[in-house]
């Protein structure tokens, strides 16, 4: 058996090597010739899976180690009898930590408190539900919008806390998107954030998109920034990425990153393992490989800090930045070398992304922390312990 895997899937060679010959390739540049003799294809979102890639190949299974599937032609796969999978939830915690880091950066830089603010979370699945948890850990109120889940709750006779999108936009200080990219169906999300969307926001709002670039209408976003409707903007996904993102937008947003919100090492490994297990199931093979014991030691095993009368957000930001420096990600996105095209720069940042570990692998020592801060550190994911 021959398996082609994306080089940006950690431990993929080890996992799929238990099944057969494994070839590691660059995901975005995969061609029909690369996969013609493959039985299994394991990818991430940079690979367009369609007839052009697969026609004439012997591929029997395609798995993406991502939560989105808009890069895959599902109708084509199913018409050819090719089994497929995606990896819902694999990087949910990573994205929620990205949002946490972004908010703490904004609060510290601009001198406002997150406590008491209202965050509107649009899309409350695997990722959005983690974002809700961390928003509450930071002392925020939360409004949630998710039409499919609201309908399901109604069908099940469950009273839910979901609100309609107009009420969410009008009632939120911060709005964050965590929806799939859908052009059709009952709940299309293509250009969900359009001019009418932004017109319903409070003036001076904060906007975050770590979902898909095309769920935001770029012209409408730009107009909202320039008008002051948006005081602060964080973009991890961009309409037209990798090379079509706009420099005028890049120049005006507070934090700009190259679609890496979900790129924690643990999130990527979880995606690898989910695709491996799905491939084994589809091909009726025993799943013997596991990542247990293969994760490297944490980069930052311990952080020590003191409050010293500082606001909670400032202390939290100090702790978080030692584990995940979102400001460095922003700086790399903006530092495109002269003569290097945008697509190559964007893809290069993703391909060569430095290892980022999740908060849960770091122990925090903060002897003078009050209970509120201790609880916040614990609830956003750190292992908190005191030392006298």
Q: The tokens 């799943």 sit on which residue?
A: 287
Spatial contact of 225 and 205, defined as CB atoms under 8 Å apart:
no
Give the integer Cα–Cα distance in Å for 267 and 321: 19
Q: Read off φ and ψ for residue 196, nearest 5 degrees.
A: -65, -35
Give the number of residues written for the chain.
Answer: 388
Number of CB atoms found within 10 A of residue 115's CB: 15
212 labelled catalytic: yes
Give the integer Cα–Cα distance in Å for 196 and 194: 6
Exposed/middle/buried for residue 83 (C-beta within 10 Å: 0-12, 13-18, 19+): middle
317 labelled catalytic: no
C-alpha torsion 90→96→102→106, nearest 10: 170
List the catalytic residue out of 259, 263, 332, 345. Answer: 259
List the catalytic residue out of 25, 97, 239, 241. Answer: 241
CA distances from 364 to 86, 255, 280, 300, 371 (A): 35, 26, 39, 10, 14
Give the integer Cα–Cα distance in Å for 298 and 162: 37
Strand 255-256 relative to strand 302-304: parallel, antiparallel, unpaired?
A: unpaired
Q: Read off φ and ψ for residue 217, nearest 5 degrees.
A: -80, 110
44 labelled catalytic: no
Exposed/middle/buried for residue 182 (C-beta within 10 Å: 0-12, 13-18, 19+): middle
CA distances from 42 to 31, 67, 111, 143, 350 (A): 14, 14, 45, 36, 17
List the catalytic residue out of 28, 149, 212, 263. Answer: 212
Q: Which residues are catalytic?
A: 212, 241, 259
């Amino acid at each position: 058996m021959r398996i082609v895997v994306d080089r940006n899937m950690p431990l993929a060679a080890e996992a799929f090597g238990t099944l057969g010959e494994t070839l590691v390739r660059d995901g975005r540049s995969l061609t029909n010739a690369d996969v013609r003799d493959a039985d299994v294809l394991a990818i991430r979102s940079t690979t367009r899976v369609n007839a052009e890639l697969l026609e004439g190949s012997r591929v029997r299974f395609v798995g993406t180690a991502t939560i989105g599937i808009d890069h895959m032609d599902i109708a084509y796969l199913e018409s050819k009898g090719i089994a497929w999978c995606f990896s819902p939830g694999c990087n949910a915690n990573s994205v929620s930590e990205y949002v946490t880091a972004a908010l703490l950066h904004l609060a510290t830089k601009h001198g406002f408190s997150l406590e008491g603010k209202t965050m509107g979370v649009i899309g409350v699945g695997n990722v959005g539900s983690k974002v809700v948890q961390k928003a509450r850990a930071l002392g925020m109120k939360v409004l949630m919008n998710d039409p499919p889940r609201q309908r399901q709750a109604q069908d099940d006779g469950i009273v839910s806390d979901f609100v309609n999108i107009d009420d969410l936009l009008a009632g939120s200080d911060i709005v964050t998107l965590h929806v799939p990219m859908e052009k059709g169906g009952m709940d299309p999300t293509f250009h969900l954030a359009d001019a009418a969307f932004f017109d319903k926001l409070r003036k001076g709002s904060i906007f975050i998109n770590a979902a898909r670039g095309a769920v935001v209408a770029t012209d409408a976003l730009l107009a909202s920034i320039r008008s002051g409707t948006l005081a602060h903007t964080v973009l991890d996904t961009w309409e037209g990425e990798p090379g079509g993102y706009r420099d005028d937008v890049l120049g005006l947003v507070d934090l700009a990153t190259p679609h890496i919100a979900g790129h924690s090492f643990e999130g990527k490994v979880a995606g690898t393992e989910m695709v491996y297990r799905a491939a084994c199931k589809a091909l009726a093979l025993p799943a013997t490989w596991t990542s247990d014991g293969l994760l490297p030691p944490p980069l930052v095993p311990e952080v020590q800090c003191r409050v010293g009368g500082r606001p909670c957000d400032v202390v939290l930001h100090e702790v978080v930045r030692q584990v995940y420096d979102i400001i460095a990600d922003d700086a790399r996105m903006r530092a495109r070398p002269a003569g290097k095209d945008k697509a190559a720069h964007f893809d290069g940042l993703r391909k060569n992304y430095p290892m980022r570990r999740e908060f849960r692998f770091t122990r925090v020592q903060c002897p003078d922390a009050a209970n509120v801060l201790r609880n916040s550190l614990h609830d956003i994911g750190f292992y908190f312990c005191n030392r006298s």
